[in-house]
């Protein structure tokens, strides 16, 4: 006999009695249940069954299975009491009804059909088959909250699939459909739990929109989640504003101005670093003795990967020059070779790595890689500084 799903007719039912029809380890099936199983993107209910914690609820075509935290003390044929965690259930009701509302508005105002939905523990998302600007998202959010304030009834009905009309999305099912209707806004075939009126959804917050594959992903929160997220966002902004000794309303302009200032200083710093690298490499080139092959070989440390690259670029344009630069954090070696040195930097560095390992690459003039540690770094530098055997 299939499980009688009490949540289909009463989403507000949190305590019930039922007869146990099967027990398999920690898995229990009942003749009827108010526990909602994971389905349609909505997560399962938790609570207690016969005094034992329910940690998961699953379903197949006919039965709902309750997964307990430990093996139950009761067996098949026993009568047990189930208690659904109301706080979690009501949160899911708010999110799911809010999703129906948002999907209906997106469909009606932007011709943007909802392709998929996901209800998470922290936030929820819906994917729509249309582009959506931030301005459009703000309008959708505002319209949703207007309808919520109107406290429109949300009703559940059971209708024959062949006769059900005006559904937002046609159903491929046959037989009896469970229809959730938001008065004057939406009719959708759905098996989830929902509130009785839109006012119970609470505030709706559309927090983020992003392109996802060929769709637009909309992150949203409803009810207590929306309030908690808005509070967390405000607190974060307040801390940022305090650290910059400004008000929250002035924060966007100040952050933009500071970012532009940082970019300008970074550009100036980069130019100074390149200029300094040029002088330093020329001094090293002048001080180095030519080897028997007429090549000047120089090894020098750098304080950062950026300085290391600047030194390498400056060295590669000097005459008959091989430069080996290092940086300790992360352990990095760079090989630069002038065009008249006869050294292929990429090939030489790859050969020097040997058994030490490392990641990187380069071309004939400049090559760079990171290595496991400073011991390997020292060994590779010693290898690169030796003139090739004749």
Find the CATH number of the domain harbouring 305: 3.10.310.30
pLDDT tier for residue 355 given thresholds of 50, 70 and 90:
confident
Q: Token digits for 93?
A: 């009701």
Q: Show the DSSP H helices in 47-158 as ranges.
A: 86-110, 134-149
What is the number of structural domains in the chain? 3
Give the end of a domain, one of 63, 84, 105: 84
Give the end of a domain, one of 59, 84, 109: 84
Percent of the chain with pLDDT over 70: 99
pLDDT tier for residue 126 given thresholds of 50, 70 and 90:
very high
**Residue-level pLDDT at 390:** 57
Residue 322, pLDDT > 70, answer: yes
Is residue 249, in this structure, part of any structural domain at all? no
Q: Show the DSSP H helices in 244-339 as ranges.
A: 251-287, 305-316
Residue 367, pLDDT > 70, answer: yes
Average pLDDT score over residue span 300-312: 90
My answer on whether 62 and 110 are in the same domain is: no
On average, the pLDDT of the chain sits at 92
Q: Token digits for 386?
A: 């030796």
**Residue-level pLDDT at 88:** 97
Contact 382, 299 (CB under 8 A): no
pLDDT 10s digits, 36-90: 999 988 999 999 999 999 999 999 989 999 999 999 999 999 999 999 999 999 9
My answer on whether 79 and 185 are in the same domain is: no
My answer on whether 275 and 321 are in the same domain is: yes
My answer on whether 38 and 135 are in the same domain is: no
Is residue 150, in this structure, part of any structural domain at all? yes
Report the alpha-carbon distance of residue 112 to residue 127 in Å, rounded: 9
Is residue 262, in this structure, part of any structural domain at all? no
Residue 151, pLDDT > 70, answer: yes
Average pLDDT score over residue span 2-16: 96
The residue segments making up the domain with residue 65 are: 4-84
My answer on whether 238 and 280 are in the same domain is: no
pLDDT tier for residue 188 given thresholds of 50, 70 and 90:
very high
Is residue 255, in this structure, part of any structural domain at all? no
Give the end of a domain, one of 55, 84, 113: 84
Residue 26, pLDDT > 70, answer: yes
Of the candidate ranges 261-265, 327-331, 386-390, the one whose mean pLDDT is the lowest = 386-390
Of the candidate ranges 98-112, 134-148, 301-315, the one whose mean pLDDT is the lowest = 301-315
Q: Token digits for 116?
A: 């998929």
CATH of the domain at 26: 2.40.30.130
**Residue-level pLDDT at 389:** 60
pLDDT tier for residue 372 given thresholds of 50, 70 and 90:
confident
My answer on whether 97 and 65 are in the same domain is: no
My answer on whether 95 and 76 are in the same domain is: no
My answer on whether 304 and 361 are in the same domain is: yes
Please give the distance of CA 295 from its chain centroid, rounded to a whole number.
52
**Residue-level pLDDT at 95:** 97
DSSP code of residue 51: T
Who contacts 40 (Cβ-Cβ below 8 Å, separation ≥6)?
A: 117, 190, 191, 192
CATH of the domain at 131: 3.30.980.10
Report the alpha-carbon distance of residue 170 to residue 86 in Å, rounded: 32
My answer on whether 171 and 214 are in the same domain is: yes
Is residue 39, in this structure, part of any structural domain at all? yes
Report the alpha-carbon distance of residue 138 to residue 220 in Å, rounded: 12
Q: List 333's β-bridge partners, or say none.
A: 326, 369
Is residue 254, in this structure, part of any structural domain at all? no
- Tokens 């080996």 belong to 324
User: Which of 11, 12, 4, 31 shows the shortest CA–CA distance to 20?
Assistant: 31
Residue 94, pLDDT > 70, answer: yes
Report the alpha-carbon distance of residue 360 to residue 171 in Å, rounded: 54
Is residue 319, in this structure, part of any structural domain at all? yes
Q: How many CB atoms lie within 10 A of CB 37?
A: 23
- The strand order across the sheet containing 296-301 reads 296-301, 321-327, 332-337, 366-370, 359-362
Residue 262, pLDDT > 70, answer: yes
- Tokens 């075509």 belong to 61
pLDDT tier for residue 172 given thresholds of 50, 70 and 90:
confident
**Residue-level pLDDT at 119:** 94
Query: How far does the chain reach from its first CA to its final CA, in angstroms?
Result: 88
User: Which of 187, 191, 151, 197 shows the shortest CA–CA distance to 173?
Assistant: 191
My answer on whether 30 and 122 are in the same domain is: no
Q: How many CB atoms lie within 10 A of CB 4?
A: 14
pLDDT tier for residue 122 given thresholds of 50, 70 and 90:
confident
Task: Kindly report the pTM of this predicted structure.
Answer: 0.75
My answer on whether 95 and 233 are in the same domain is: yes
Report the alpha-carbon distance of residue 350 to residue 326 in Å, rounded: 16
Residue 357, pLDDT > 80, answer: no
Is residue 250, in this structure, part of any structural domain at all? no
Average pLDDT score over residue span 19-31: 97
My answer on whether 238 and 371 are in the same domain is: no
């Amino acid at each position: 006999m299939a499980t009688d799903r009490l949540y289909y007719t009463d989403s507000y039912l949190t305590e019930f009695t039922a007869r146990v029809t099967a027990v398999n380890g920690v898995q229990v099936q009942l003749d009827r249940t108010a526990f909602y199983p994971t389905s349609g993107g909505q997560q399962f209910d938790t609570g207690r069954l016969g005094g034992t914690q329910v940690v998961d609820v699953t379903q197949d075509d006919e039965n709902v299975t309750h997964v307990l935290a430990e093996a139950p003390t009761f067996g098949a044929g026993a009568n047990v009491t189930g208690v659904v965690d109301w706080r979690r259930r009501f949160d899911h009701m708010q999110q799911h009804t809010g999703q129906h509302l948002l999907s209906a508005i997106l469909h009606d105002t932007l011709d943007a059909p909802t392709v998929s939905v996901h209800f998470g523990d922290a936030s929820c998302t819906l994917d729509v088959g249309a582009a959506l600007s931030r301005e459009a998202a703000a309008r959708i959010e505002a319209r949703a909250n207007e309808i919520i304030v109107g406290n429109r009834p949300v009703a559940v009905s059971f209708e024959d699939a062949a006769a059900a009309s005006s559904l937002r999305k046609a159903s491929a099912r046959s037989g009896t459909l469970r229809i959730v209707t938001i008065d004057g806004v939406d009719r959708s075939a759905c098996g989830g739990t929902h509130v009785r009126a839109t006012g119970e959804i609470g505030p709706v917050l559309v927090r983020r929109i992003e392109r996802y594959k060929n769709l637009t992903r909309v992150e949203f929160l409803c009810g207590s989640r929306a309030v908690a997220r808005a509070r967390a966002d405000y607190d974060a902004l307040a801390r940022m504003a305090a650290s910059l000794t400004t008000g929250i309303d002035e924060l966007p302009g100040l952050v933009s101005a500071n970012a532009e200032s940082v970019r300008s200083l970074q550009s100036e710093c980069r130019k100074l670093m390149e200029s300094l690298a040029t002088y330093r490499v020329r001094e090293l080139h002048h001080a180095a003795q030519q080897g028997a092959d007429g090549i000047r070989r120089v090894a020098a440390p750098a304080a950062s990967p950026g300085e290391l690259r600047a030194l390498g670029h400056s060295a590669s344009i000097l005459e008959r020059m091989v430069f080996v630069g290092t940086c300790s954090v992360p352990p990095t070696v760079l090989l630069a070779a002038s065009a008249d040195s006869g050294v292929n930097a990429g090939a030489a560095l790859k050969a020097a790595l040997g058994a030490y390992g490392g990641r990187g690459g380069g071309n004939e003039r400049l090559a760079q890689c990171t290595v496991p540690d400073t011991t390997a770094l020292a060994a590779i530098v010693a290898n690169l500084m030796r003139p090739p055997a004749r």
